[in-house]
């Protein structure tokens, strides 16, 4: 093992820190360096509240809409969402382990499998997806602010009011990002109980006004046979996994602040599947009630809230939606690309500058195009999952199968270290996984592979990488305890 930077252990098998700091400025800065013991303050509640803040958002509320619209009844849609989130929690926890154990962010973990320079490939792929999501969430938040302005001043609309709402919400996101990771922790911890109460209040209001949950919850599935159901269920499940396939990759960016493995594992399983399932159900139930209250099913919560007759209630509810969108946007869609861009040029791009760059790209890609219809939205989820599934497969194969959960921190930050510049085997596995996941787009007979894009890409890349790396010398980390 390299002796440039000693490894220190705080507890058996986890929580290392670099007392001297990495020496190569071209590979590190204060945001990419391993977290120190004093920075690891996130307990089970903080990890769970992180996922509450991430999950309670307008896209989650509207997620079941595409499934019900496609033919499922309400419980089939909600169960599909729950199953997808239980599945994605498994790679999430496995990849998060490295962040908690070594205190490293996602781009640095990628150096172990792809090489120091090759790590930019998965980092940029993940970053571009995040920029798209950032733009979507910022557009939604801006619409909420615009609606609040119309409620507060119904007889006056300033010039470019919609653009103003968008820019105000964009600036709010940037403010949180510039303040750093501790502000994200505080935001999520404070917002979690507020968002759960707000969601339940919306549900009870709808039930009271409608005298029940409406007709949609009694509507049967439109599928006549099991085959018809499975033909829709399989790509839908892939889309549900794809919804958080982004965070499954860059979860070390957040788990690096966890106190220990128990906190990150329990926090994620307690926070993600239950909250996604609950809020998806609230979306279905409230929409069902809206058909009774207003005579039409309204899936957009901003539009729904604008129909409430009390201005005070509207403003409070829209503020809750703004907080929900903000907590999701900052943690899910800014942290990963900010670190990813910093990995490109650590000496010039820190977390704050990377976050601002994310915000600018999120505007430039015109994300509102993705929200024009449900088919485009589901297609977006499936398509990018075909890229992210293979990366997750490579990460897990490298960390758990090839390296047995042991890494050399010193070499992750050294140009002449054991991880090299590029790992061609990882690139080959990535290309193989993506090729299999997306081949169904051009070969109709192989369409099922595209329907299973995340799963197919993950499995192929995992197996291919493990085979290609077999027999490859791996550093004998005799100074590093077992996980």
For the segment 216-238, the average pLDDT, to the nearest whole number, is 84
Residue found under tokens 């002796």: 3
Confidence label for 113 from pLDDT (cuts 50, 70 and 90): very high
Whether the pLDDT of residue 412 is over 60: the answer is yes
pLDDT for the residue numbered 373: 58
> Which residue, chain included where needed, has tokens 């990018």?
384
Mean pLDDT value across the chain: 82
34-369: CATH superfamily: Hydantoin permease (1.10.4160.10)
What is the pLDDT at residue 215?
63
- Contact, 283 vs 302, CB < 8 A? no
Going by pLDDT thresholds of 50, 70 and 90, the confidence category of residue 436 is: very high
Torsion, Cα of 130, 135, 137, 139 (10° steps): 180
Dihedral sign of CA atoms 222, 291, 133, 185 in order: negative
Sign of CA dihedral 199, 205, 207, 209: negative
Contact (CB, 8 A) for 139 and 368: yes
pLDDT at 457 over 90: yes
- More confident position, 300 or 257: 257
Which comes out higher in pLDDT, residue 467 or 241? 467
Q: Tokens at residue 229, please?
A: 């159901």
Instruction: Over range 435-450, report the average pLDDT.
Output: 89
> How far apart are alpha carbons 386 and 405 in whole angstroms?
25
Say what the pTM is: 0.80
Residue 371 pLDDT > 70: no
What mean pLDDT do residues 460-480 have?
77
The per-residue pLDDT for range 292-327, each reduced to its tens digit, is 788 777 877 877 877 877 787 778 888 887 888 887
Reduced to 3 states, what is the DSSP secondary structure of residue 8? strand
Whether 15 shows a pLDDT value over 60: the answer reads no
Task: Give me the pLDDT at residue 208, please.
Answer: 84
Q: What is the pLDDT of residue 376?
A: 62
The predicted pLDDT at position 432 comes to 96
pLDDT level of residue 181 (50, 70, 90 thresholds)? low
**Distance between CA atoms of residues 330 and 335, nearest Å:** 7
DSSP three-state, residue 15: strand
**Res. 197: pLDDT tops 90:** no
Alpha helices in 37-105 (DSSP H): 44-55, 58-69, 74-102
Percent of the chain exceeding pLDDT 70 equals: 87
Q: Among 60-69, 157-166, 235-244, 450-459, which range has the highest average pLDDT?
A: 450-459
The full length of the chain comes to: 483
Closest residue by Cα to residue 5 from 16, 109, 13: 16
The two structure tokens encoding residue 20: 């001297």
The mean pLDDT of 424-428, rounded to a whole number, is 96
- pLDDT for the residue numbered 102: 93
Cβ–Cβ under 8 Å, residues 428 and 142:
no
* DSSP-assigned letters across all residues of 178-243: HH-HHHHHHHHHHHHHHHHHHHHHHHHHHHHHHTSS-SGGGPPPS--SHHHHHHHHHHHHHHHHHH
In degrees rounded to 5, what are phi and psi of residue 22? -65, 135
Tokens of 387: 């890229």
Domain borders along the chain are 34-369
Question: pLDDT class for 63, splitting at 50, 70, 90?
Answer: confident
Please provide the DSSP assignment of 311-324 as one string.
Answer: HHHHHHHHHHHHHH
What digits encode the pLDDT tens for the residues 84-100? 999 999 999 999 999 99
């Amino acid at each position: 093992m390299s002796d440039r930077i000693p490894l220190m252990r705080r507890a058996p098998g986890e929580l290392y820190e670099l007392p001297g700091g990495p020496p190569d400025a071209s590979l590190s800065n204060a945001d990419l360096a391993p977290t120190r013991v004093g920075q690891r303050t996130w307990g089970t509640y903080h990890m769970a509240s992180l996922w509450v803040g991430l999950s309670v958002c307008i896209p989650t509320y509207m997620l079941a809409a595409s499934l019900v619209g496609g033919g499922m009844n309400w419980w089939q849609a909600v169960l599909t969402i729950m199953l997808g989130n239980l599945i994605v929690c498994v790679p999430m926890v496995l990849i998060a382990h490295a962040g908690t154990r070594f205190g490293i962010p996602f781009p640095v973990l990628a150096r172990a499998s792809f090489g120091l320079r090759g790590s930019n490939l998965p980092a940029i792929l993940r970053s571009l997806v995040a920029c798209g999501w950032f733009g979507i969430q910022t557009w939604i938040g801006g619409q909420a602010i615009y609606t609040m302005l119309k409620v507060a001043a119904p007889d006056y609309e300033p010039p470019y009011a919609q653009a103003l709402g968008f820019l105000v919400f964009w600036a709010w996101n940037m403010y949180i990002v510039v303040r750093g990771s501790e502000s994200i922790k505080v935001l999520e911890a404070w917002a979690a109980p507020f968002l759960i109460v707000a969601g339940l209040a919306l549900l009870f209001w709808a039930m009271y006004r409608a005298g029940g949950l409406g007709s949609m919850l009694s509507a049967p599935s439109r599928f006549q046979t099991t085959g018809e159901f499975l033909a829709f269920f399989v790509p839908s499940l892939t889309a549900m996994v794809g919804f958080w396939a982004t965070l499954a990759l860059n979860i070390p960016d957040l788990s690096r602040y966890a106190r220990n493995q128990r906190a990150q594992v329990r926090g994620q399983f307690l926070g993600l599947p239950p909250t996604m399932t609950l809020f998806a159900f609230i979306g279905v139930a409230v929409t069902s009630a809206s058909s009774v209250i207003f005579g039409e099913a309204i899936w957009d919560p901003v539009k729904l809230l604008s129909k409430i007759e009390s201005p005070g209630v509207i403003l409070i509810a829209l503020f809750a939606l703004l907080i929900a969108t903000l907590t999701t946007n900052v943690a899910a869609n800014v942290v990963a690309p900010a670190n990813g861009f910093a990995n490109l040029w650590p000496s010039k791009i820190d977390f704050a500058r990377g976050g601002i760059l994310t915000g600018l790209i999120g505007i430039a890609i015109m994300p509102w195009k993705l929200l024009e219809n449900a088919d485009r939205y589901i297609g977006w989820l499936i398509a990018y999952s075909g890229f992210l599934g293979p990366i997750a497969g490579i990460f897990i194969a490298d960390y758990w199968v090839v390296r047995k959960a042991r890494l050399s921190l010193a070499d992750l930050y050294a140009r002449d270290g054991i991880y090299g510049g590029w790992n061609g085997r990882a690139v080959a596995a990535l290309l193989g996984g993506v090729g299999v996941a997306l081949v169904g787009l051009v070969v109709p007979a192989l369409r099922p592979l595209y329907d299973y894009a995340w799963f197919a890409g993950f499995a192929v890349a995992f197996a291919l990488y493990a085979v290609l790396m077999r027999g490859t010398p791996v550093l004998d980390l005799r100074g590093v305890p077992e996980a």
